[in-house]
Chains A and B, each alone.
Chain A
């Protein structure tokens, strides 16, 4: 059973090697296009795909409830982006 064991180890080494190569060769900085866009707009917020009544620009907009403004507004992204 030594052979399948060494096959398994080789497979794992290849997996780790492949990931390491990809990580080392890929750029870790945001693309220049993204930096240019921020220079142009000044908006850093990720492009959140949210309903119209939920805040699209993080930390700039606030949630509103268009039908019942006095009620607690709905913002589903609160689950992820806690303040």
Chain B
């Protein structure tokens, strides 16, 4: 038993000696593997985090959104549709919405402007919980708005510190006070958002009193959903209905193999990984051939050689995998993924200030590990075994 322990220690000593004295042999493969695992894990961390956040918040969205279409495009919806929709049995919480993009021509940037009906009891309660510092009554007495952090920094940069003047379609200017900035934790949704009273937004967009952007409503009984859609299509002929379940399905399948970004990423990963495998495979055949022959000549068995190569490769695989995944975690969830987040959220308009909610999919991480470790081990062990089974004299040639 003590002899076995010494043997184990001697083996470990020899293994570490091989790893550290010949580190030049491993450093290239480790570096490339770390970069590939880092890139793959970062993209998957961002997509998982976005997907989870959006699916969780989707629970609070209305079941249906109805808008009018003309020549295949969404146009303003008549507000009297609200009364007709309320009359359908099983429908609750019918609410008209006004929102759209306000184009700031001098800089070619745009904001998402949303009109809220603050006289609705539910909306006023949510507003008070959202921005506790702002008093709703004083907010409504002056023409004021709440802005997202991206809008705030953009306006400050262009010297709109207290107010901003919106240009209406009639050519007049509407000066609106910047009351407060929306909490930065909601940046993923609110970065370019402006919230203001519904009448003010109607004036800025130049909508008539009887026009809204769309109408939302809930149907608490899921079994009635198809029936309600059929009724809507019988009531209105120029209608587009967006269902929550459709959006949920779309968000669930948001990042799959159809996405161009993911196709490119997987292709790059596979090709790079193939090159690493080829490098390991050919290295065992060329430079390690002599080493294996010597070990066989001094009495090492095939099993010992395979054990040595196995542990040597396992150390390389574990180090690259752990370093790659940990760096990706730090990059995404601590430093909020600079540059890569722009791929997911765009960079053509306002600068995004986003904090990602940490989400780890262990199944996915396990799959990456297996996809990386098994071929890597095979690329070393198969040639090592082929050399080890040949006579040492031949192997050293």
Contacts and interface: CB of A to CB of B under 8 A. Distances in A.
B345 A49 contact: yes
A interface bracket (residues with beta carbon within 8 Å of B)? 35 or more
Nearest to A5: B16
Interface residues of B, number: 88
Contacts, number: 203
B236 interface: no
Nearest to A1: B16
Interface stretch (B54-62, B171-179, B373-381): B54-62
A29 B56 contact: yes
Interface in B163-212: 182-183, 185-193, 195
A47 interface: yes
A78 B58 contact: no
Nearest to B54: A44
Interface in A10-58: 12, 15-16, 18-19, 22-23, 26-52, 54, 56-58
11 contacts: A1-B13, A4-B16, A5-B16, A33-B183, A34-B186, A38-B61, A39-B122, A42-B216, A49-B150, A49-B191, A80-B343
A59 interface: yes
B368 interface: no
B37 to A, nearest CB: 14
A14 B61 CA distance: 42
A12 B318 contact: yes
Interface in A55-79: 56-62, 64, 76-79
B90 interface: no
A28 B53 CA distance: 9
Given A40-B195, A56-B101, A35 B57 contact: yes
A33 B246 CA distance: 25
A56 B351 CA distance: 14
Given A27-B357, A82-B260, A8 B319 contact: yes
Given A31-B183, A50-B349, A44 B116 contact: no
Given A28-B358, A35-B60, A2 B242 contact: no
Interface stretch (B106-114, B227-235, B383-391): B106-114
Given A15-B322, A47-B188, A23 B350 contact: no
A42 B60 CA distance: 7
B345 A47 contact: yes
Given A37-B130, A79-B260, A43 B189 contact: yes
B250 A83 contact: yes
Nearest to A54: B348
